[in-house]
Structure formats: C-alpha cells, structure tokens
Structure 1
Amino acid sequence: MIRKVKYHEIDFQKYTICLENSEQRNWYAKKEVLDELSGNWEILVYDDYKAVLPVPMKKKFGINFVIMPLFCQQLGIFSEKDDVKINDRFLQFLKKNYKVFLYSFNHCNSFSENLKTKKNYKIPVSDYVILRRKKYFKGRKSTAKCAQHLIYKEIEFNTNHIAFIEKHFKGLKKQTDVKKFRDYMSFLHDHNALKLCAAYLEEKLINVAVLVDEHTQFSLLALINDENHKTENGPSFLIDKILNNYIHEKEFNFMGSNIRGIEIFFKSFGGELQEYTYLQSKILEKLSS
C-alpha cells in the first residue's frame, strides 16, 4: 500500500534508513538537501518505509504543484531493490494525486510505461592513465595537453571567489536564482560538501569548477568561465586535472546535459551515458520546445 505522508508526519529515521540501504541512493533525496533546495516537500511511502518517493512542491495562485527544485537533478523511488511493479504503483499514485509540472526519477528506476528520458554522464572510478588513453576523445587529449601552461588550484569559498562565480555564471537569468545558487554553495560549504577547483593564467583566475563533494563521487554543479580567456581551454584543463587527482577514488558525475555541445564535451572525457526518466506537464513541454 502506498500512502502520502506530510512533512511533519515523516519518520525521518526510517526515511534515512530507507535511503541509506537503497539501490538508488543519491544526494538529492537527503532530508537536509531537500530542506535547503525545496523547503516544501512530503513523501510517498510503500508499506513501512520499504520504499519512498520524495515529492517537492511549490504553491502558486493557491494551487500546489510538483516541480523539481533548482539544482536538483534526480529524485524518484528509493528501495532496497528496484522493482518495476512497485515503481508503477508509485507512478500512478503520483499522477493521480498531484498536479505534476516536472518530476525526475533516478536512473535506476524502471517502469512498464514508456516515459521520456533525459541524459546524464558519469565516469566510474577508474585508472586515470587508462581512462585518458582509451576513453578520451583524441581532440580532448590534445586540448588538455595544450592548456598545461595554466595553473591548477583548489580554492577557498570566500568573498572574492564568490564574486567571480556570480559575475561569470551563465544560465541564471533571475537574481533570485543567483542568490539561491550562492545560498546552496554556502549550505554545501557548511556541510563539508563543497569543492572549488580553479584554473589560473599566471596570477589571474579564469575558470572555476563548483563540485558537490560526496563520499564516493564528485558532481559538477557548475563550470564557470571567464569568456575573455576562452582560447586558453580552461574547462578542458580543469576537468582533466580533477580526473587526474581523484578518479581513482571517486566517480565523476557531469550532471547532464541535453544540450548537444555540452553533451559532447562530457563524452569526450569518457563520460558514460546514464539516462533517467521524467514526467512533465504539457504546458512546460510547449515552453521548452
């Protein structure tokens, strides 16, 4: 039996145990992360927390609707073993009882119904030398090699570096979204889950990779570039250095993308396709097309 559980009624101890023991375990479903990114959420529960599905919501014009929070890629169903029949029941319950504007399941969730998919790219823990020799595109090897005049540093989360990130961040049109990104970085920093990796041209900062630092993987939250130094190939240099330093112990999650040019960039480092399904309202489909 699946039931809806309001936030104040959630048994967070059981919820956390379910997440920790789940096959689909990911960063976004954690209580503290959803509290930060959504603020308004509840869950669907199967039996006694044998499976759970977090439901983030917003309220507009007096109507509650389901929408993925900004900077949150995948949620979905979390259970000890992914089960298509149970997933189907969650899906039908979600569609029947909520107004779904946009909801993304995780890459482990399978359904009988054919749902639309989005693309994500990840690199598993690997030997860097083998990864670079066998998986890098030829052009990416060359580009990374040509950028070796740059200097790699892991930098602090401070006022100067925040100013650089905010000045050069692309894709956030609203000032409220920029603030939300800054607040999320502060949250990550406070939870020891933020890593900032930078490329310098001599003494000048020209690129920053903003990473979510988990125990088993890095997730690329943003790649910030000073367009005045585009020809220096800082993004290729940065990703290559991060992989060189850490891919032997942590996966690298590129966090997307469905934009062709960015997708090719991720694949060129040996990123492996990992699709995930989603529900989207017809209104949002028209706006996105």
Structure 2
Amino acid sequence: MKIEFLHRDEIDDALWDACINKALNSLIYGYSWYLDEVCDDWDALVYDDYKAVMPLPHRRKWGFTYCYQPFFCQQLGVFSTTETGEALLKAFFSALPAHYTLFDMQLNVFSKPLDGLGKLRTRTNYRLPLIPVYEKIASGYNNNTKRNIKKAEANKIAAFENADPFSVIALYKRHYADKTPEINDAAYDRLTRLVSKAIKMGAVQAWGVYDEHNTLCGGAIFLTDHKNLYYLLGGADDAGRYNGGLHTLFDALIKRYAGLDLVLDFEGSDIEGIARFYAGLGAKPLSYYHLRINRLPWWLKLFKK
C-alpha cells in the first residue's frame, strides 16, 4: 500500500477536495481552503491518487517540526473514499515522516489508531440528526431546554438567521475572552479570515439573538457542507444568557433545518455544563480521538509530556 508524502505546494487542490467531498467520513475541516486558513502550514499523506488523504498541520519550534491541532478545527486524521479499516490506518500512521518529532492531533471517529502507537485519549462530540420533522426533534428536548425557550419568548427574545457574523465574533470576544485566554488576538484574526473565506465559499450561516429593542444580545456562527452544520462559535451577553437566548437560537435553527438530510455537529464538549446544554437539545455523544506521539529528545520530553 503506497502512501506518498506531499508538501503543500505539491498537492492538487481539485483532487484533494474531491476526495474530502466523497469521503465516507467527510468533514469540512479537511478541505484545502479550510486548512489554508486555520493552519500555519500543512503537508499531507496521500494514498492511491487521492483515494485517501491525511492532512498534517505543522509548526517549527526550537529547531523541531511538529504536527499540531489548529484552532477552529476539531477533527482531522485520515479521510477515505473507499475504506476506513485497520489496514489503511496502520499504513497511514506507519508513513508519518520521521522529521515530525511530535504528533499531537485530534482524529475523526473513523481514524482510531492502533494501540501502542502513542498516548491515546477519547474525547466527546455531540451530534443531532436533523432529518426528522421538527416536532419529533423538539420532543427530545429536556425540561430545562423547553423552560428556557418559553422564558425567551416571554421576555421577547427572538432568534433570526442572516446576522452579521463579524458582529457575533465581536460579541463573543467581549463576553468570553477572559474565559478562553488560549484564544488570543492572533487566533481571533485567523477566525475572522476563516469566516471571510467561508462566506466566499457559501459555507456560513450566522444567527443572531435580539431583544425587544432589536439589540443583538447573542449569536452563533455555523459552517455548512453537504452533510453537516458545524457549531463554530456562539455566545450571549448577560441578558441573552439569563433569558434563554441560545436555547431559542438553537430551537429556531432546528426548526429551519428539520426534515433535511443534515446533522447538527456541536463540536464538543468534554466540559460537563456545555455537554449538558447540547444533550438538552437531544444531541447524542460520539467519541473521537486525541493522539500524541512523542519522538522528541529525552530532555525535551520533560517539557512536553
């Protein structure tokens, strides 16, 4: 099973994106345009003329090149149009170039590596199929979700699509920057570029939550492809949170897309309170994987455990 290592400038974008589009485990994060926006740089492993591919985002530090998981990119790993079995995964991970002295990435649900390859940790995503009619989906809401939707309605809080995504980003940064210090100004700049590119690709849905004075008090940005709606980012100010703003936003979104062959992908979470919010909308947990392969010299491993 021959797998080629290609630098970014050697990759055929049309063949690459066709593979991601047809992949059995297709995710928006794998498209070349998406990787170009979220990665500092990336190379790839390619099998049999793009029947399967594996992007390798990388950086260089202290003279060592390492693979890392970019912000705003939940899962990568192997994407395949034909198979996702053990033999294929073994071949890809065996082909990881030796010059990547550290591999620290999150892999999609079909890319669970073999035991003994490195330090493996299971992470949790939540997903909600939208193909049933709205009434069927809404019957799966828990009591807290239903109560918050009624609370929003009573307080004249409403959610609408076609909000300005950059206003949503600004609102999020104002109210959540202190809670997410790992997302620095450079990351917010990258997020803005990603959303700008996604708009050009027709792959963005932005929703806003408004009070009775038509003031934006919450919002969310979703990325879209032919299979999924991805909850990229969202939040609310104090009034929006207290009055069930995000509950009514997701209810409006679900009402809008119910009956379509799509899945709402919440992009997490392992955080108990956030997971409870997603589960309250009827979403079900699905595991994916965090793999760490450490080939660093022993004296650097002390700092990168």
Give the Cα separation in 1 of the matches to 2:303 and 2:163: 38
**Match of 1:127, as an amino acid?**
V
Encode CA deviations 1:124-149: one digit per residue, 9 max, x unaligned: 1222211111x211222222222213
Q: Conserved in 2, the CA contact under 8 Å of 1:24 and 1:78?
A: yes
**Match of 2:39, as an amino acid?**
S
1:157 corresponding residue in structure 2? 164
Higher mean C-alpha displacement, 264-273 vs 47-56: 47-56
Q: 1:113 to 1:140 in 2, by over 3 A?
A: same
Q: 1:221 to 1:73 in 2, by over 3 A?
A: same
Give unpaired runs (5+ residues) of structure 2. Answer: none
Shift of 1:228: 4.5
Q: 1:88 to 1:153 in 2, by over 3 A?
A: same
Shift of 1:281: 5.7
1:129 corresponding residue in structure 2? 135
Give the Cα separation in 2 of the matches to 1:267 and 1:158: 25
Question: Is 1:119 matched up with 2:124?
Answer: yes
1:278 corresponding residue in structure 2? 290
Question: Is 1:267 matched up with 2:279?
Answer: yes
Give the Cα separation in 1 of the matches to 2:93 and 2:166: 44
Give the Cα separation in 1 of the matches to 2:194 and 2:166: 15
Question: Is 1:167 matched up with 2:150?
Answer: no
Give the Cα separation in 2 of the matches to 1:185 and 1:2: 33
1:213 corresponding residue in structure 2? 224
**Match of 1:167, as an amino acid?**
R
**Match of 1:6, as an amino acid?**
H
Give the Cα separation in 2 of the matches to 1:118 and 1:139: 25
Encode CA deviations 1:145-201: one digit per residue, 9 max, x unaligned: 222131222244376555434323442542212222222222222222221111111
Q: Structure 1 length as normaliser, TM-score?
A: 0.89
DSSP-derived class of the 1:145 partner? helix
2:206 corresponding residue in structure 1? 196
Shift of 1:260: 0.8
Give the Cα separation in 2 of the matches to 1:261 and 1:160: 25
Shift of 1:254: 0.4
2:144 to 139, 155, 158: 139
Q: Structure 2 length as normaliser, TM-score?
A: 0.85
Give the Cα separation in 1 of the matches to 2:102 and 2:172: 33
Shift of 1:66: 0.3
1:104 corresponding residue in structure 2? 106
2:19 corresponding residue in structure 1? 18
DSSP-derived class of the 2:251 partner? helix
1:76 corresponding residue in structure 2? 77
Give unpaired runs (5+ residues) of structure 1. Answer: none
Give the Cα separation in 1 of the matches to 2:237 and 2:150: 20
Structure 1 segments of 4 or more deviating over 4 A?
158-162, 285-289
2:235 corresponding residue in structure 1? 224
Higher mean C-alpha displacement, 212-221 vs 156-165: 156-165
DSSP-derived class of the 2:207 partner? strand
**% identical aligned pairs:** 26
Q: Conserved in 1, the CA contact under 8 Å of 2:43 and 2:57?
A: yes
Q: Conserved in 2, the CA contact under 8 Å of 1:154 and 1:195?
A: yes
Q: Conserved in 2, the CA contact under 8 Å of 1:208 and 1:224?
A: yes
Encode CA deviations 1:183-220: one digit per residue, 9 max, x unaligned: 22222222222211111111221110111122332111
Encode CA deviations 1:10-56: one digit per residue, 9 max, x unaligned: 23333233223221111011111111111411111223333211111
Give the Cα separation in 1 of the matches to 2:124 and 2:166: 34
Q: 1:3 to 1:160 in 2, by over 3 A?
A: closer
Give the Cα separation in 2 of the matches to 1:65 and 1:143: 45
DSSP-derived class of the 1:59 partner? strand
Q: Conserved in 1, the CA contact under 8 Å of 2:160 and 2:249?
A: no
